[in-house]
Amino acid sequence: MPIVEKLLRSAKIKPHNFERFLRKSEVQITNKVLNQCIAMRRKEFNISTLPFENYNYMNALNKNCENIVGYTRIPTGIIGPVKFCNNENYVPFATTEGALVSSINRGVKLLNMSDTDVIVEDVGMTRAPIVKCPSIAEVKILKDWIRCNYIIIKQIFEMESKHTKLQEIKFLQEGNHLHIRFRATTGSAMGMNMVGKGTNFVLRYLKKQFENMDIVTLSGNTCTDKKANAINWITGRGKHVVMEANISAENLKKVMKVTPPELANLNLQKNMVGSSLAATIGGNNCNASNILAGIFLATGQDTGQIGTSSSSILNLIDNTESLTATLTMPCLELGTIGGGTTLEDQKSNIDLICGDAENKVERLAQNIIYCIMGCELSLLSSLCNNDLVQAHMKFNRGL
């Protein structure tokens, strides 16, 4: 029996505490040691088919996952080349859905033949705690005090970070409860933890100034994080990204086998009228979340934010001889450092997309919206031609 296993069994350590116990002991933590912990845990839970060897668990230790029993493999396809702004690169795409990579590539091919532009604006990450005051009058005093002392609040918020920059503070009030919505830019990181840390510093400071104020929670759901919502759709969160493409009728017919009037009309009836009848929030698109999910998985983004980040509106304008397509994504939440982006596979995929770009977050956002618009155009065209089912039967049913 290996020394590590013997130690853990003799101490009767529960499986989820293996690594924590070893860190406190004199055992040197290596990938080999972590593999032994995982092998023991797999015996405990009777797991035998999930792969676990040949993986760098040291990179994920105490950071990306707990109670690890192995890893799950996802097929990863390639999209591209993606060509715009005198740049060319490929985009790795993790998915289990057949026909999706092919559809995106078809749309990207069309966009590469068109006049395109992408604008990325950093509107900042948000965190909104709830505090409670004894009365609504004292809520008013608190709000006025924060407004008058914004410079002090900003200094406290940023005191332990070189990259976190507070942009604004807004209030949403319910009775004697006050939601304080902090918005800050966070450099190359998605920034939830950075903004949360700064917010916590401010809450401690406010508590000293207003002893009768109670801190209800660090996050009061008006941030708003990982939930369909209107506030991010209206005010933005993370990156506000807009793409424009001017597509000739000739190229549209050549690649997609449709005309500008056909595509514009279907977009109106489906993505505008249909989504309005269903009362979606940020759902004026075909399947933006599908493409976002594949790139998020491949690049180590927070997959909990796929739903909110994919909020977008596709607008198609028929110019008779051409089609003007715009895609607006007001709350794309992503980063190129921190979290899952530091894992080896995910970091490698980010490097494949971003290369030596000076602003890798901007470059990643540009590629994401480019791929999403490509698939939107491809899917709408398939629906116009009534060949969507045939494509899935061809690419999504095996040999």
Residue burial 6-30, b: 16+ Cβ < 10 Å; e: rest? ebbeeeebebeebbeebeeeeeebe
Closest by Cα among 328, 337, 336, 335 to 310: 328
- Residue 76 CB neighbour total at 10 angstroms: 15
Active site residue 226: yes
Which candidate in 5, 83, 97, 132 is catalytic? Answer: 97
Question: For this structure, is 122 an active site residue?
Answer: no
* Helix H or strand E segment including 125: strand 115-127
Which has the closest alpha carbon to 290: 303, 279, 275? 303
Catalytic-residue membership of 97? yes
Is 324 within 8 Å of 317 (Cβ atoms)? yes
Residue 177 known to be catalytic: no
Q: Which residue among 132, 226, 270, 347 is the active-site one?
A: 226
| Contact of 328 with 236, CB cutoff 8 Å | no
Task: Give which of 55, 118, 57 is closest to 82, Cα–Cα.
Answer: 118
Q: How many CB atoms lie within 10 A of CB 395?
A: 15
Catalytic position from the list 302, 318, 333, 345: 302
Instruction: Name the residues annotated as catalytic.
Output: 97, 226, 302, 392
